[in-house]
Amino acid sequence: MAWFFGKKQQEPELVEPPLHFVRHGAPIPQLNPFLYVHARMIVLNALGARADVVRVTFTGQKAQVQYQIDGVYHNREVLDGQTGGGIVAIYKIFAGFDLKQRVPFQEGEFEVQHLNNRIPCRVEDQLVKGAEIISLHLDTGKPRPHKLTDMGLAEDQVEKIKQAMEEPGVVLVTAPPHLGYSTVFNAVVRVIDRYMRDVVMVQSVKDREEEVENAPPTTFDPDKEETPATVIPQLLLRYPNVVCVRKVADKETMSLLLEQPEKERLVVMGLLARDDTEAIYRALALCEEPEKLLGQLKVVVGHRVLRKLCELCKTPYPPPPQLLQQLGIPQGKIKAFFKPGPPRLPPEEIERMQKEGIPIICPQCQGIGYLGQTGLFEVLFLNDQLRQLFLKPTQDLDAVRQALRKLGHRTPLDEGILLAAKGITAIQEVSRVLKV
């Protein structure tokens, strides 16, 4: 694989992009300058497109470049095998990987120098069947929402959650993987007055989590067969008021946590699941005494992230009757849904773009149709009626969801339809996220 080092002869003149890669420590060997420029241009274009992740999937014959924008991957250029392999090698060199070793997964980092900014770049490389996937995670400093209200949850709902968390008990936080789980968990913990109450946080050493103010993390190492239950007893010697565990996955941890409300403590625990119903049953499966969990469980906060429609190019349209029937919405209840459309630009601007041969796409979202993200919440406050419902063993989660709906609980689909009717997102985006 030495072909990507050194210089080729009779190449066209290079145009240097205003972006460089910086790695501290080990020296970088001489690289093919044209491939190095191409590797940097991919990252430069990603930054211009608001991407958080650059992913290159290399099969040997070709390499597909993708950008993750607002949580969704978009296909970009396809490289030939030689170019793609060289660019993947350059990313691996700057990440500090040994090109002679092929391991299932490796992780490293370097910095991207763009104008006057230094952007941390975490690199993941993994081998899958028939391909190598390298991902560049760009930490551009994009602000993350800190509060539940910033994420789209109504103020009255936040106030009810706050009241529920003022007394001993259990709060369950859930989301599917990679759909805002860490962000919503942190936001729920921030509802607690962490200046008046001593809060301890437990998480894996492998978790790359943003630290919550006044809730310093204590870590355990799964590679050493440690679990949250390994470190919680030591933390309890501090007599905390609140115990937070980001992910509960074993019965020993669950048993230990369910002892805490009896000692006047609040427990905030997290579980990965599709929705509140699935999260409750997963939590019950970890309990020796399901009644004990249900008796202590106060509220479940479920969350997903979906994209917001771009305000400059969203277009209303009458909802098709067949779609309303499929969603169970009475005819006439919703006047319009919205979808990505042509940008609302001044006629003279469109005329200029046409004359100059510029594609008429939205300058704000760059033709994607979506700009930014919002939260899709499902908040379930437990009462005696709901506790009795969940005490019944079931393998039909959909039947439980329907029972909850009859009791007045709004499902994620209900919340998504409401966001679509308000023009915040498209019903197609709700369908994509909820897989309905």
pLDDT at residue number 12: 57
pLDDT averaged over the chain? Answer: 92
Instruction: Note down pLDDT in tens along the chain; length 436 residues.
Output: 444 454 444 555 678 899 999 998 878 889 999 999 999 999 999 999 999 999 999 999 999 999 999 999 999 999 999 999 999 999 999 999 999 888 999 999 999 999 889 999 999 999 999 999 999 999 998 888 899 999 999 999 999 999 999 999 999 999 998 878 999 999 999 999 999 999 999 999 988 888 899 999 999 999 999 999 999 999 999 999 999 999 999 999 999 999 999 999 999 999 999 999 999 999 999 999 999 999 999 999 999 999 999 999 999 999 888 888 877 788 888 889 999 998 888 888 888 888 888 888 898 999 999 999 999 999 999 999 999 999 887 778 989 999 998 998 988 999 999 999 999 999 999 999 998 8
Q: Are the CB atoms for 264 and 235 separated by under 8 Å?
A: no
Q: What is the pLDDT of residues 185-199, one digit of tens each?
A: 999 999 999 999 999
DSSP letter for 333, please.
S
Tell the burial category of 66 from Cβ atoms under 10 Å away from its Cβ (0-12, 13-18, 19+).
Answer: buried
pLDDT at residue number 375: 94
Tell me which CATH code domain 155-307+373-434 carries: 3.40.50.300
pLDDT at residue number 240: 96
- Enumerate the domain spans of the chain: 2-138, 155-307+373-434, 311-368
CATH of 2-138, one of 3.30.70.360, 3.30.450.90, 3.30.465.10, 3.40.50.300: 3.30.450.90
Query: How many whole angstroms separate alpha carbon 130 and alpha carbon 369?
Result: 33
Q: Are the CB atoms for 168 and 264 separated by under 8 Å?
A: yes
Query: How many whole angstroms separate alpha carbon 232 and alpha carbon 95?
Result: 35
pLDDT at residue number 346: 87
pLDDT at residue number 31: 93
Tell the burial category of 175 from Cβ atoms under 10 Å away from its Cβ (0-12, 13-18, 19+).
Answer: buried
pLDDT at residue number 1: 43
| E strands in 31-71 | 53-58, 62-69
Q: Are the CB atoms for 426 and 420 separated by under 8 Å?
A: yes
pLDDT at residue number 209: 85
Q: Are the CB atoms for 25 and 50 separated by under 8 Å?
A: no
pLDDT at residue number 13: 67
Q: CB under 8 Å, gap of 24 or more: what pairs does 214-217 form?
A: 215/189, 215/244
